[in-house]
Amino acid sequence: MKKTLNVIKIGGNVIDNSEKLHQFLLDFTALPGDKILIHGGGKIATELATSLGVEAKMVEGRRITDIETLRIVTMVYAGLINKNMVAQLQAKGCNAVGLTGADGNIIKAVKRPVKDIDYGYVGDLDEASVSVETLDSLLRAGLVPVICAITHDGQSQLLNTNADTIASAVAVAMAKRYDTALIYCFEKRGVMRDVEDDRSLVAEIRMDEFDALKAEGVVSGGMIPKLHNAFEAIKSGVSAVYIGKADELLQINGSSFGTRLIK
């Protein structure tokens, strides 16, 4: 019988709020069993870039990562945010280890090819990107990996990689050895029929309902790629995917946490 593993991705809106982050890390520490935490960077990278006179370049909501931006996101994601979270987890009794994809060669990416748009130093992942062996050895040693959204290409180049994509890729890879759940934590209770009404939670979404919910506008914007990644993960062996509110994480073992995505 496989051991259980929770792969949890924490959103930028929680990272940006010190009180919410403190509470989330308390709950994360209290969550039993093996776990891996994935994070991006929130607003801090954008604020630092502005203060240094580096203009943020966005195309259709996606960040263009030129060399100056790459330096900033590496400093912020892999340095300031990652090590701050690891230090807080250690203070709470969680023996965390902070990582980029380059550390232990845990996540190897490919620089996104230039088609219509040159996204710069952005990494794409495939089914061979994640080193299951290395992450498994860390978990068996009693460590909790905390992975930021910086990967590498194996040729000494660091790459900025979407944290949702990293979480999905890690969950899929680890599902070969663990009964793995993928949990996206952010500021909302889950997928809402009305984003202004917390009572309008969609408790469960089946794969065959996804297109209809997109057509209705219930699933829109940034939630579309998040759910697409989630259903791809389920197809690839992840046992369940949840999308829910960070401060309700400890309800994950009950039946009332967020939106559950199923086959």
Distance CA 170, CA 127 (A): 9
**pLDDT bucket at 210, cuts 50 / 70 / 90:** confident
Q: Nearest 5 degrees, angle CA 100-CA 101-CA 102?
A: 90
User: 175-203 pLDDT, tens per residue?
Assistant: 999 999 999 998 888 888 877 777 888 88
**pLDDT bucket at 55, cuts 50 / 70 / 90:** confident
For residues 127 and 167, the model is more confident at 167
Is 177 annotated in a binding site? The answer is: no
pLDDT of residue 173 exceeding 80, the answer is yes
**Burial grade of 212 (CB within 10 A; 0-12, 13-18, 19 or more):** exposed
Phi, psi of 114 (to 5 degrees): -80, 120
pLDDT of residue 9 exceeding 90, the answer is yes
- Greatest CA separation for the chain: 54
Distance CA 73, CA 165 (A): 17
Q: Which two tokens stand for residue 104?
A: 């232990």
pLDDT of residue 61 exceeding 70, the answer is no
Nearest-10 crossing angle of helices 82-91, 18-30: 50
Q: Which two tokens stand for residue 128?
A: 């061979």
Predicted local confidence at residue 169, as pLDDT: 96
- β-strand pairing of 240-245 with 259-262: antiparallel
Rounded to an integer, the average pLDDT of 107-119 is 94
Which residue reads 């996606």 in tokens? 62
Structural domains in the chain, sorted by start = 6-262 (3.40.1160.10)
Predicted local confidence at residue 101, as pLDDT: 98
Which residue reads 């991006």 in tokens? 40
For residues 58 and 113, the model is more confident at 113
Is 160 annotated in a binding site? The answer is: yes
185: nearest Cα among 135, 126, 226? 226
pLDDT of residue 29 exceeding 70, the answer is yes
Residues 111/153, Cβ–Cβ less than 8 Å = yes
pTM for this model (two decimals): 0.94
Tell me the pLDDT of the chain averaged across its residues: 92
**pLDDT bucket at 213, cuts 50 / 70 / 90:** confident
Residue 195 is given by DSSP the state T
pLDDT of residue 221 exceeding 70, the answer is yes
- Share above pLDDT 70 across residues of the chain, in percent, rounded to a whole number: 98
Residues 56/104, Cβ–Cβ less than 8 Å = no
Q: Nearest 5 degrees, angle CA 18-CA 19-CA 21?
A: 65
Predicted local confidence at residue 225, as pLDDT: 78
Q: Which helix (H) or strand (E) segment is 15 a member of?
A: helix 12-15
Which residue reads 């980029």 in tokens? 100
Is 63 annotated in a binding site? The answer is: yes
